[in-house]
Amino acid sequence: MTSLDINQIKQYLPHRYPMLLVDRVLTWESGKSITAIKNVTVNEEFFNGHFPNKPVMPGVLMIEAMAQAAALLSFLTMGKKPDENTLVYFLGIDNARFKRPVEPGDQLKLDVEIVKVTRGIWKYKARATVDGQLAVEGDLMCTLRMVENGADKVAAVQ
């Protein structure tokens, strides 16, 4: 399918700076996979304290970037854009492994594929690389929920 720029991504994800961690979608195939990128720049807030003398992107944010790419894939697969009451909750990660640090100037390439969808639970295999070198990988689980007046509805978004 066609690529998505940052303005199109913002139509699918509620995240905004500094928590929007997907800059561009390169390719995606409905029900299958997505490839996106996160450009890592030295002026990102987290580098002020992680670490001042040797800036490294926190692992939890690399996982969050993969989860955001997974959320994009879910919405694109369903063929609908979320409204202000639709959220994707990150349920868990299994088999997370960090293989190399991610530093300012790196481009994190996010590859996520859908493993299965069962009763509103989406499972994905995700990996992120820098210049072809594996940085992080893991198995993600997410769910889409409707939220009204700050409270979850019982039903998942299908």
Please give the Cα distance from 99 to 44 (Å, whole number).
22
Residue from 144, 111, 133, 115 nearest 35 by CA? 111
Structure confidence by residue, pLDDT tens digits, 62-93: 999 999 999 999 999 999 999 888 888 999 99
DSSP state, 52? Answer: T
d(CA 132, CA 129): 6
Q: Encode 83-105: b = buried (16+ Cβ within 10 Å), e = exposed.
A: eeebebebeebeebeeeeebeee
| Per-residue model confidence (pLDDT) at position 78 | 94
Query: Catalytic annotation on 15?
Result: no
pLDDT of 155 reads 44
Q: Which two tokens stand for residue 41?
A: 């720049």
Whether residue 147 is predicted with pLDDT greater than 90 in this model: the reply is: no
Catalytic residue, chosen from 15, 50, 125, 145, is 50
What is the C-alpha to C-alpha distance for residues 112 and 77, in angstroms, rounded to an integer? 13
pLDDT digits (tens, 9 = 90+) for 105-137: 999 999 999 999 999 999 999 999 999 999 999
Q: Is 89 left (phi over 0), alpha (psi -120 to 50) or beta?
A: beta
β-bridge pairing 107-118 and 121-130 = antiparallel
Domains and CATH numbers, the chain: 6-156 (3.10.129.10)
Residue 87, pLDDT score: 86
